[in-house]
Structure 1
Amino acid sequence: MASPTEPPTKQASNVDIAPRESGSSSSSHLKGQGNTKPGTKWSRFRDSFRKMEELDPLANKDMTDLEKAVAATSNAHLSRSLKTRHLQMIAIGGAIGTGLFVGSGSALRTGGPAALLIGWILVGTMIYCTLAVTFPVSGAFAAYSTRFLDPSWGFAMGSLYALNWLIILPLELVAASITVSYWKSDVNNAAWVSIFYVLILAINMFGVKGYGEAEFVFSIIKVIAVIGFIFLGIILNCGGGPQGGYIGGTFWRDPGAFANGFKGVCSVFVTAAFAFTGTEMVGLAAAESENPRKSLPKATKQVFWRITLFYIVSLTLVGLLVRYDDDRLIGTSSVDASASPFVIAINNGGIKGLPSVMNVVILIAVLSVGNSAVYGCSRTLASLAAQGLLPHFLAYIDRKGRPLAGIAMSALFGLLCFVSASDKQGEVFAWLMALVGLSSCFTWGSICLCHIRFRQALTFYGRDTSELAFTSQATVYGSWWGFIMNILIMIAQFWIALFPLHDNPDPAVFFKNYLAFPIVIAMYVGHKIYLKNWIMYVKLPQIDIDSGRRDLDLDKVKQELAEERLELALKPFYYRVYKFWC
């Protein structure tokens, strides 16, 4: 057993891993590096798809399986080319998608405007307490579960998260085709699906730079649209639209603030959790950022503003401008843009042409989520394979730092989008979504628990947060709040699944809402049985709290952080407040 003053990172951190720049074709560790001549453009393009040769971090036979997993995720050969501006826009607008623009409509109808705000505020506080990144490693939170909790739980969480994005990709492609039908297009939905399918894969084939630049543009458009809607909503509520007439809080009185009482509030939680899906993408992208110590703190602080401004304020206006009993909120599909309360609010204001503009924003949001689906799934699959939790071929990373096998798997599963040509598409996707309906709650709950275990390990080794570039503003107590909130959301969903609103208990309805839970348990227990690993959790002396950090000279890090804090303390009060929140 390692002593409390000497964390067990020696084996993992002393593995001989050659430094490299993943995107460079001239790195000395690349396979077949005998000829260093540039060659033709075609040869460079062809060679970029070859596997990145690496010194095997798992070569040390004395390492335990857990130490091998830590070494593999800490030394993944992903490209490190995401800039601060990419991470900031991913943090601000990355998860603004169909959950906000369309899903909020069904939440408004089942819960009412007050329940809509209660659900989003409570889930929003939980999200705010969840995000903090210390180890920018491959697979991020999936790898954290293996490292700080239990390898079997890490397998279950990583697999569920990857499956979540595998399913979301075809769902979003179909959603994009349905969104286009808003304009009564004569083009078959399958044709639109094909166009969007090729577009998203093409973006991801440009590597992390392609993903970063696309999300940068998508996020700017979404942010501008939401800010524009907020100003427009205030004007419409005050009677400044073409239809005129002051609205105020009329719809909070008639038909009322709550649609279905406490049960309606509980039904909103899961919709809100789905809307926030993708917030954790900042942590996943950390492994491919240029300077995570500088960029990640700034990016994670943006989450507070996104929750406050883009969700709470915009949904407050939605609840003021749209009645919860409006028949248009039913829609023909959970991804039908015509059921968007944002579009309905603008239509109610009598503004011509603007609903189409909002529909374009919804289309961009849908494509943005599809783009994130390929990115998130491919990186998670590569991380799981590197840890030995999935077939090794999925760990294939080429010389440009692209996890090609993971992208190919996403592309293969994405072909399910062509069920849009079938009249059974609704039933197919209902059961697919049932597989991962609670995935966000499992993911966020595990992240919170990992943070709690990390802080316990830090204390166990006699160290403190002075060596951390960024600590959660909500502290470890925020992680406890986030963990408890996720448990409560799953309990509420169990109740709603077992006793649906305005309906009798139905096994089909229950499993469509709660199928993810038994699947996670099956994966967890199956992994235990397969590996004959009956250790229930990683004990504190086994937790590695160093491997994977970009800055391993802790004394230097502490000195730099102390200097930065001293410099900040000398600044005016308003500047210190600004830096705390931004």
Structure 2
Amino acid sequence: MPELNEKVASLFGSKTTSAEAPAVPNEAAPNPDDVEALSSHTGLERTLTSRHLQFIAIGGTVGTGLFLGTGGALGSAGPAALLIAFAFVGAVVYSVMISLSEMATYVPVAGAFTTYATRFVDPSLGLAMGWVYWLSWALTFALELNAAGLIIQYWNKSLSVAIFIAVFWVIFTVINFLPAKIFAEIEMYLASIKVVTIVGFVILSICINAGVGDQGYLGFKYWHSPGAFKPDDIIVDSKPALGKFVSFWSVLVTAGFSFQGTELVGIAAGETLNPRKTIPSAIRWTFWGIFTLFISTVFFLGLNIPYDEPQLMSNAKDASASPLVVVVRLAGIPVLPDIINAVLLTAVLSAANSNVYSSSRILVSLADGGHAPKFFKRSNKWGIPYYAVGVCSAVGLLAFMNLGAGGAVVFDWFLAIVTVAGLICWALTNIAHLRFMEALKYKGISRDDLPYKAPFQPYFSWFGLFFSSLIALTSGFQVFIKWETSAFFTNYISIIIFVVLYGGAKLWTRSKVVPLEEVDLSHNEK
């Protein structure tokens, strides 16, 4: 196994080491306090607390998917389909989060996902998974920068988007070169604005539904007319029931995109104080916090907006397309659209800030595993991996591409990569966890002795693996109903990239699945 890891590492001139001696069955679980005494091999400093982890994840998750994407999803599928889709994907995310929590508390490392896939499954899988996940978050930074400029144009369309792309790029690049604790504090305040806004919106929605506003009392009026489910336009005439299911399934992709980022709690495991105690609490509060915010928001959106409202299907990228604005506009409440646009800007900027952090730590993890040039691990005296941050920030400059002819097409590809890449990594996280449990059993380590024991296992991991994979594979199923070659590649570009990376790594290294006796369960970063 060491030879395989070294061959992967030879691609970039670094070296992945294995455990000094092969693990043997009935291996005793190491002292839980050992991890606290170990210095990070990557040079990252353990300074983050549970609240930092929670707000980093909230900052990366609650963004355009919830504030903008839910409008189009409601308009294309109906309120009941939207609510069920978000609840169902929430269950998939829960399976990923508890799996990640069990691994991250036992082996707390930076960038988590790549390391676990490499250690527990296959080095080639870790390489492919890490680069796809890194690409998705690095490209999201460019997407959010562009979105920020478009949101500001809501107030003044004469201003060029390029101005704001440049300004915000500089600001967030600088912030991410600050010590991780300072970055986390800034992110905490930015994310707090989003949380307060959603809570305020839910309260306002209850009042509007009860009769405050121009529409009077609503109740479940719009669930009856125009209806709770909207059949897919392509097959509505031939098979209405099937059309409703097709509409529901299409919304799963939107829900998956909206929930992406919840797993960022695991990315920061290598910079967390007392990870064995901090991570389980952070993951639990992060998931349930985000799940509650999402479910309550989409529920009240479905109550207060009919799915045939024309503004829901608008192609606008500012507050005019936000379903939150549609709610207050239908209620006849002035001023609030401007306030919501300001919040939407904050949401996008918070996500952009989190994107640079998460993508840079994934790059550090890739370098530490021998899957990227080793200089990406270099950190300054504050524990900031400056090369990794610099490269990830530079990817954000791709936002300027959207200003040129044909740029919108390129950005559609970027968005497709981001959407499906998260689903791929969720599935692979569950695979890594299944393998982790097999290794524990082989080495005689009881899961009852782990710092955190995930419930409902291995059933939840199999559940998450199956449906994450299924949603990713069917993300562009509409192209098979009405074939369009360009749409096929747009929808499946992430899967194509992953297959190419994994296949290329397998051909180059000839790596195999890591034998159970060689699975590295050590607590320190290699």
Local SS of the residue matching 2:67: helix
Find 1:547's aligned residue among 501, 511, 523: 523
Distance in 2 (alpha carbons) for counterparts of 1:336 and 1:356: 10
Aligned to 2:13: none
Q: Say if 2:102 is the partner of 1:124.
A: no
In the TM superposition, residue 80 of structure 1 has moved relative to its aligned partner by 1.2
Q: Please show how residues 383-532 of structure 1 align to structure 2 within 5 Å.
A: 383-499=365-481, 504-532=482-510
Is residue 73 of structure 2 the alignment partner of residue 107 of structure 1? yes
**SS at structure 2 position matched to 1:545:** coil
Secondary structure of the structure 2 residue equivalent to 1:294: helix
- Shift in Å, 1:275: 0.4
Return closer, same or farther for 1:147/1:126 CA change in 2, 3 Å cut-off. Answer: same
Checking the alignment, whether the CA contact within 8 Å between 1:497 and 1:511 is kept in structure 2 is no
1:494 CA displacement: 4.4
Please give the root-mean-square deviation of Cα atoms over the aligned residues, in Å: 2.2
In the TM superposition, residue 91 of structure 1 has moved relative to its aligned partner by 4.5
Which of 27, 30, 42 in structure 2 is aligned with 1:6? 27
Shift of residue 92 of structure 1?
4.9
CA displacement, residues 9-53 of structure 1 (integer Å, 9 cap, x when unaligned) = 9xxxx9xx9955xxxxxxxxxxxxxxxxxxxxxxxxxxxxxxxxx
Q: In the aligned structure 2, how far is the partner of 1:437 from the partner of 1:511?
A: 14
Per-residue deviation at 1:8? 12
Post-superposition Cα deviations, 1:418-468, rounded to whole Å, max 9, x if no partner, equal: 224324332120122333431111111111111111111111111212322
List 4+ stretches of structure 1 deviating above 6 A: none
**Contact (CA 8 Å) 1:7, 1:545: kept in 2 or not?**
no
CA distance change for structure 1 residues 368 and 196 in 2, over 3 Å: closer, same or farther?
A: same
Q: Where does structure 1 lack aligned partners over 5 or more consecutive residues?
A: 21-73, 551-582
Which of residues 35, 38, 46 in structure 2 aligns to 1:80? 46
* CA displacement at 1:7 relative to structure 2: 7.8
Identify which range, 418-427 or 99-108, moves more after superposition: 418-427
Shift in alpha-carbon separation, 1:209–1:3, aligned structure 2, 3 A: closer
> Counterpart in 2 of 1:286?
269
Give the drift of 1:382: 1.5
* TM-score, normalised relative to structure 2: 0.87
More RCO (CA 8 Å, sep 6+): 2
For each residue in 1:234-293, what CA deviation from the matched residue of structure 2 results, as whole angstroms up to 9, or x when unmatched?
Answer: 10011113x251111121122211122111111111111110111111000111111212
Retained in 2: the 8 A contact 1:164–1:436? yes
Shift of 1:187: 2.2
Q: How far apart, CA to CA, are the structure 2 residues paired with 1:442 and 1:292?
A: 26
Structure with higher Rg: it is 1
1 CA distance for matches of 2:295 and 2:38? Answer: 45
Task: String of CA shifts for 1:499-533, please: whole Å, max 9, x gaps.
Answer: 3xxxx210101111111112111100101122233
Contact 1:129-1:473 within 8 A present in 2 as well: no
Deviations 1:328-382 (A, max 9, x none): 122234x443211111111111111112111111111111111111111111112
CA distance in 2, matches of 1:304, 1:146: 25
- 1:257 aligns with one of 228, 236, 251: 228
* Conservation of the 8 A alpha-carbon contact between 2:367 and 2:373: yes
Letter in 2 for 1:540: L
Secondary structure, aligned partner of 1:361 = helix
Query: Partner residue of 2:335?
Result: 353
SS for the counterpart of 1:174 is helix
1:320 aligns with 2:286: no
Residue 314 of structure 2 is aligned to residue 331 of structure 1: yes
Identity rate, percent: 39
Aligned residue in 1 for 2:169? 197
Amino acid in the other structure paired with 1:539 = P
Give the alignment's TM-score, normalised by structure 1. 0.79
Q: CA deviation at 1:326?
A: 1.7
- Measured in 2, the distance between the counterparts of 1:521 and 1:124 equals 26
The match for 1:267 among 227, 250, 272 is 250
Q: 1:244 & 1:524 partners in 2: Cα distance?
A: 55
**Structure 2: unaligned runs, 5 residues or longer:** 1-21, 232-243
- Deviation of residue 214 (structure 1)? 1.9
Question: After the TM superposition, which residues 100-249 of structure 1 pair with which residues of structure 2 at under 5 Å, given as runs?
Answer: 100-131=66-97, 132=101, 133-134=104-105, 135-241=107-213, 243-249=214-220
| CA distance, structure 2, for counterparts of residue 176 and residue 291 of structure 1 | 36
State the 1:76 CA deviation.
1.9
| Distance in 2, Cα, partners of 1:81 & 1:471 | 25
The answer to whether the Cα contact below 8 Å between 1:226 and 1:310 also exists between their aligned partners in 2 is: yes
Output one character per residue of 1:460-496: Cα deviation in whole Å (capped at 9) or x when no partner.
Answer: 1112123222222443322121111112212332423
Matched-pair contact (CA < 8 Å) for 1:76–1:137? no
Q: What is the total number of aligned residue pairs between the two structures?
A: 483
Instruction: Please state how far the C-alpha of 1:90 moved relative to its aligned partner.
Output: 3.2
The change in CA–CA distance for 1:318 and 1:438 in structure 2 (over 3 A counts) is: same
Alpha-carbon distance in structure 2 between the residues aligned to 1:192 and 1:112:
35
Q: Distance in 2 between matches of 1:316 and 1:359?
A: 21
Question: Compared with structure 1, are the counterparts of its residues 154 and 81 closer, same or farther at alpha carbon in structure 2 (3 Å cutoff)?
Answer: same
What secondary structure is seen at the aligned counterpart in 2 of 1:385? Answer: helix
Q: CA deviation at 1:399?
A: 2.1
Give the superposition deviation at 1:101.
0.8
CA distance in 2, matches of 1:308, 1:531: 41
Aligned equivalents of 2:414 and 2:473: distance in 1?
21
Once the two structures are TM-superposed, the CA of residue 416 in structure 1 deviates from its matched residue by 1.2
Write the letter of the residue equivalent to 1:372.
S
Q: Distance in 2 between matches of 1:118 and 1:373?
A: 28
**Residue 549 of structure 1, CA deviation:** 8.3
What is the CA–CA distance in structure 2 between the aligned matches of 1:290 and 1:474, rounded to whole Å? 28
